[in-house]
Chains A and B, each alone.
Chain A
Amino acid sequence: MSIRVVIVDDEPLARLAVKVRLARRDGFTLVGKFGDGDSASEGIAALKPDLAFIDVEMPGKTGLAVLAALAPAHRPMAILLTAHDCFAVQAFQLAALDYLLKPVDDERLDEALDRACQAFPYRGQGRPFPLPAPKARTFSVRVGSRTVLVPVADVERIEADGDYATLHAQGKTWLVRERLHNLATQLDPRRFHRVHRSSIVRLDLIAELRPLTNRDALLRLRDGSVLRASRTYMPALAEALQHLNRNPQEAT
């Protein structure tokens, strides 16, 4: 069963950007496109889509107002799009599925669509969808002509390098020919967390989290490495860290 999608954005090129990327993926059907808040309100009420890409700043009603005006039961899963970066808190209050900053890159959009696929079967049941079980126990890494198995438990963080990813495990780095977004689905979300477009970290290695004025944060890991956490991941990261504090045995 395909996920029915509407796109709401006042700029035609912005709608095109989502449409083109959506067309590359199976399991999504575009059922409507709207250019302003008012027609989007009517359209969403009439079409009852499963998923809506919604621009925040639009003439007439804002994207947030469109969502807020719908009864929670009739609200589609929402992925908010914005060039501005100060709506994250409101977006999460409205239980938006994700929150993307423009220009949106493919990696980040794919991740949002993965979330939609995961959440879809549980939609409308009024509870958060269960986290998918981790699939991999080891990563196989090709080094020259041989293959090395790196246990997932040893991995400290993963960094994206375009179509490659670098695994940092016990002081060594391994280059894997796989995209970060695919690796992310193989990790236990209670132990690992995406903190940025280009990095995943093991939560128990975070030694310091320092908020920045632009609502991003800087993380310092136990080995002294510093990396950025993007504001679009911050609410989820804060929740995961709290969860880790309550159930420390899960991390060991």
Chain B
Amino acid sequence: MKVETPLLVPVLAALPVCACMAILGLPAFGHANAVAFRTLYFSACLAWLIPLALLQRAMWRRAWRWPGMALALLAASYGMSILNALLGQRLAISLGLETGYRWNELLRGLDSCWLALIAFCAVHAVAVYYLSLQSMQLQLAQAQAAARDAQLRALRLQVNPHFLFNSLNAISALVSAEANREANRMLGCLSDFLRATLAHDGRHEHSLAEELALLDAYLDIEKARLGERLRLTMKAGPDVLGSVVPYLMLQPLVENAIRHGIAPLAAPGRLDILVERAGAHLLVTVQNDGRPPAHGGSGIGLANVRERLRHLYGDDQQVDAGWTAEGRFRVCIALPMRHLEVAAAAAAAA
């Protein structure tokens, strides 16, 4: 066990042991000699607690095994008890009760002192074990949270640069074609989107209103590229805009819908985004026109969204994707419905 505990722990562990010894000594009150002996044993035990605690801590620091440590402590406290008994005989001689040391009686009557020292070691061990277990659990939880955070961050970063470079490429094409007005318009849209992503504070979740605004800024860029070839509806139910969704959850789905669904079509294509409430869940549906590809595979965008939702909500979420009977591609996401204020309160409480 490598976790360091404060020096206050042995002091606190000594308190109950000292209290017990003091209480056991109470009946001796009034008998002058008995009080003297009790006081001697008590002070001696108290003094022995210091080297004993230091010894115990040193063994922990060197990561001794439990049996070895127990034997060493028993031996050490046994030695201390014998020295205590010796001190007791010395007191008896000086009080004139005895005339010399009785070596054969030295090993008798050790129980109270030895027991007190052993009790201290046990209380100390339990306290330190409990504290280090707690701090290890905390560290473990922090490490897990950090790993999850890093993973989510990495998944999120896959999203951004991809279309940033696509958009810059489109602007570059417009400049080459001397379509100044369109190039400028697109720069404006791209700046809007960047401003919106830069305003984000790094949380993994935000409100649906923020998400839809971000999506709208992104869609402006796509509208500038595709013009009337993109027919768009984006609708939300009356009670959902304040609910919590993962940051940039919709953008990769919509980017897929446009790039793989609508952009390859010769005719204008429809993209319909609908967010509504279904009991305790928020349902997000993205549907787009398109042609089923010759080869299967749902692309990196969808895999990314699945992974992030699994990280954030465990099993309380669902992503369905596939072609409908009308020949449209449809992604339907269900996630737990939580309101921003409630989520913030829960985070503050945790």
CA A212 to CA B213, docked complex, whole Å: 8
Does A11 sit within 8 A of B, measured CB to CB? no
Does A235 sit within 8 A of B, measured CB to CB? no
Report A-chain residues with C-beta under 8 Å of the C-beta of B228. 161, 164, 166, 175
A161 touches B235 (CB 8 A): no
**Contact flags A206-228 to B (C-beta < 8 A → 1, else 0):** 01101011101010100111111
A85 touches B184 (CB 8 A): no
B185 touches A162 (CB 8 A): yes
Report B-chain residues with C-beta under 8 Å of the C-beta of A225. 233-235
CA A106 to CA B210, docked complex, whole Å: 27
A213 touches B237 (CB 8 A): no
B216 touches A207 (CB 8 A): no
Does A105 sit within 8 A of B, measured CB to CB? yes
In the complex where A105-B188, A228-B217 touch, is A210 in contact with B209 (Cβ < 8 A)?
yes
CA A250 to CA B216, docked complex, whole Å: 31
CA A220 to CA B235, docked complex, whole Å: 8
Does B87 sit within 8 A of A, measured CB to CB? no
Does B199 sit within 8 A of A, measured CB to CB? yes
Chain A: which residue is nearest B190 at the CB level?
A103
Does A14 sit within 8 A of B, measured CB to CB? no
Does A61 sit within 8 A of B, measured CB to CB? no
Report B-chain residues with C-beta under 8 Å of the C-beta of A208. 238, 241
**Contact flags A58-84 to B (C-beta < 8 A → 1, else 0):** 000000000000000000000000000
B188 touches A108 (CB 8 A): yes
- Classify chain B's interface size: 35 or more
Does B289 sit within 8 A of A, measured CB to CB? no
In the complex where A103-B188, A198-B220, A218-B213 touch, is A162 in contact with B241 (Cβ < 8 A)?
no
Chain B interface main SS type:
helix
CA A225 to CA B233, docked complex, whole Å: 7
B195 touches A218 (CB 8 A): no
Does B18 sit within 8 A of A, measured CB to CB? no
Shortest distance from the beta carbon of A230 to any chain B beta carbon, whole Å = 8
Does A107 sit within 8 A of B, measured CB to CB? yes
Shortest distance from the beta carbon of A18 to any chain B beta carbon, whole Å = 13
CA A52 to CA B348, docked complex, whole Å: 48
- Which residue, of A107, A161, A226, has the highest number of chain B Cβ atoms within 10 A? A226
Does B38 sit within 8 A of A, measured CB to CB? no
Does A191 sit within 8 A of B, measured CB to CB? no
Shortest distance from the beta carbon of A139 to any chain B beta carbon, whole Å = 17
Does B236 sit within 8 A of A, measured CB to CB? yes
Does A119 sit within 8 A of B, measured CB to CB? no
Binding site for A on B (CB under 8 A): 180-182, 184-185, 187-188, 191-192, 195-196, 199, 201, 206-207, 209-210, 212-213, 216-217, 220, 223-224, 227-228, 231, 233-238, 241-242
- Contacts A106-B181, A224-B237 aside, 4 further interface pairs with beta carbons under 8 A come to A106-B184, A162-B185, A210-B242, A220-B241
